[in-house]
């Protein structure tokens, strides 16, 4: 497993349209393992493959990433001592995801993106969706989603179409965000 570099706006690779996964092989499993490691390290609650430069329709989401400030818990069993993070991880993989019947009802959420670091803005999206996707074995799943899961899945699906959350803002707000990003980068 490896932490991969996260591409940042205005990198043109983030505008690519990702292609469907056809091979459910070890290379896909390695990509997903690396995406989880990269996402937890960042830390973030979701990551699309294109954010690490791979234009495939693959997403990972964990709405409960470990709290980086939490003290690791030490526990003893089987005669061994080991540590683990007190918050529970809920890793989810979505291959070739689709959104079905988005609700008329919309919701606003103050979004951020690992590819647009330190910029946050309110984005409006359908409140509820039905999602269909494949797992690492190619098996099809379908589920209704709401709240943060619906928001995050839609944010990640946008990445597959080369869309960033700032593309949902007015041109003025988007330009302000990109200017701020440029300034932050120069200061770093
Ligand atoms: O870590 C992330 N947080 C977040 C907050 C609100 C809405 C969407 C997100 S996803 C983001 C990680 C990321 O950039 N995924 O593409
Ligand atoms: Ni993002």
pLDDT at 86 > cutoff 80: no
Torsion angle, alpha carbons of 42, 131, 127, 147, to 10? -50
Domain count, the chain: 1
Q: Is residue 101 in a domain?
A: yes
Tell me the pLDDT tens digit for each residue of 59-81: 999 998 766 556 666 666 566 67
> Which structural domain, as residue segments, surrounds residue 179?
12-187
The pLDDT of residue 87:
72
Q: SS3 for 42? A: coil
Which of 10-19, 45-54, 57-66, 172-181 shows the lowest mean pLDDT across its residues? 57-66
Compute the distance from residue 104 Cα to the ligand 2 centre, in Å. Answer: 23
Q: How far is the CA of 81 from the centre of ligand 1 (A)?
A: 35
pLDDT at 176: 95
Instruction: Share the mean pLDDT of the chain.
Output: 93
- pLDDT for 83 equals 67
Q: What is the CATH number of the domain that holds 98?
A: 3.90.45.10
Please check whether residue 114 lies inside any domain of the structure.
Answer: yes
pLDDT band at 4 (very low <50, low <70, confident <90, very high): very high
What is the pLDDT, as a whole number, of residue 82? Answer: 65
Give ion ligand 2 contacts, CB < 5 A: 113
Residue 3 maps to a domain: no
> Is 2 inside any structural domain?
no
Exposure string (b/e) for 87-111, b if CB count within 10 Å is 16 or more? eeeeebbbbbbebeeeeeeebebeb
Q: Considering the domain boundaries, does residue 7 fall inside one?
A: no
CB proximity list for 118: less than 8 A, separation 6 or greater? 180, 181, 184
Q: What is the pTM of this model?
A: 0.91
Per the domain annotation, does 5 fall within a domain?
no
Query: Which three-class secondary structure state does DSSP give residue 161?
Result: coil
Nearest CA to ligand 1 atom 11: 113
The pLDDT > 90 percentage for the chain reads 85
């Amino acid at each position: 497993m490896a932490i991969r570099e996260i591409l940042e706006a205005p990198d043109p690779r983030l505008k690519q349209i990702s292609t469907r996964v056809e091979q459910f092989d070890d290379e896909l499993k390695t990509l997903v393992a690396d995406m989880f490691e990269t996402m937890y390290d960042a830390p973030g609650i979701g990551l699309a493959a294109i954010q690490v430069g791979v234009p495939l329709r693959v997403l990972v989401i964990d709405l409960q990433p470990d709290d980086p400030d939490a003290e690791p818990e030490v526990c003893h069993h089987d005669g061994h001592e080991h540590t683990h993070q007190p918050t529970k991880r809920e890793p989810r993989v979505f291959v070739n995801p689709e959104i079905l019947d988005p609700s008329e009802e919309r919701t606003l959420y103050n979004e951020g993106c690992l590819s647009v670091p330190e910029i946050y803005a309110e984005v409006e999206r359908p409140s509820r969706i039905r999602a269909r996707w494949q797992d690492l074995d190619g098996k099809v799943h379908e589920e209704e989603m709401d709240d943060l899961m619906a928001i995050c899945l839609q944010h990640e699906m946008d990445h597959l179409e080369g869309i960033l959350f700032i593309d949902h803002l007015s041109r003025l707000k988007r330009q302000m965000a990109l200017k701020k990003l440029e300034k932050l980068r120069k200061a770093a």
